Structure 1
Amino acid sequence: MARVSQEHLDARRRQILDGATLCFSRNGFHATSMQDVLREVDLSAGAVYRYFSGKEELIAAIATEALAAIRGAFERAAEENPPPLPDVLLAQVLGDVLAGRVPGSGRPAAEGAPGFPRVALQVWAETLRTPELATALRHGFGEVHAAWSKVVVAYQEAGLMRNDVPADRVARTLMAVAQGFIAQQALFGDVEVEQLQDGLRGLMSMTEPKIK
Structure 2
Amino acid sequence: MARVSQEHLDARRRQILNGAARCFARNGFHATSMQDVLREADLSAGAVYRYFSGKEQLIEAIVTEVLDAIRDTFESAAAQSPPPAPDVLVDRVMEEVLTERSGLPYDGDESLPRLMIQVWTETLRNDRLSAAMRQGYARVHAAWVGVVEAYQAAGLMRDDVPAAHVARTMIAVAQGFAAQQALFGAVPVSVLQDGLRALMSMGRQNAG
Q: Which runs of 5+ in 1 are unaligned?
A: 102-108
Please name the residue that 2:126 is paired with. Answer: 130
After the TM superposition, which residues 70-81 of structure 1 pair with which residues of structure 2 at under 5 Å, given as runs? 70-81=70-81
After the TM superposition, which residues 46-195 of structure 1 pair with which residues of structure 2 at under 5 Å, given as runs? 46-97=46-97, 100-101=99-100, 109-114=101-106, 115-195=111-191
Q: Which amino acid aligns with 1:57?
A: Q
Contact 2:113 2:182 in 1 (8 A): yes
Contact 1:75 1:150 in 2 (8 A): yes
Superposition deviation, residue 110 in structure 1: 3.8
Q: Does 1:38 align with 2:38?
A: yes
Gap change, CA 1:113 and 1:59, over 3 Å in 2: farther
Count of residues in correspondence between the two structures: 201
Superposition deviation, residue 111 in structure 1: 2.8
Question: What's the TM-score, normalizing by structure 2?
Answer: 0.92
1:182-203 alpha-carbon deviations (Å, 9 max, x no partner) = 1111122233211111111111
Q: Which amino acid aligns with 1:13?
A: R
Superposition deviation, residue 7 in structure 1: 1.1
RMSD, aligned CA:
1.6
Q: Which runs of 5+ in 2 are unaligned?
A: none
1:148-188 alpha-carbon deviations (Å, 9 max, x no partner) = 00000000000000101110110000000010111111122
Distance 1:190 1:49 in 2: 34
Q: Which amino acid aligns with 1:177?
A: V
Contact 1:97 1:116 in 2 (8 A): no
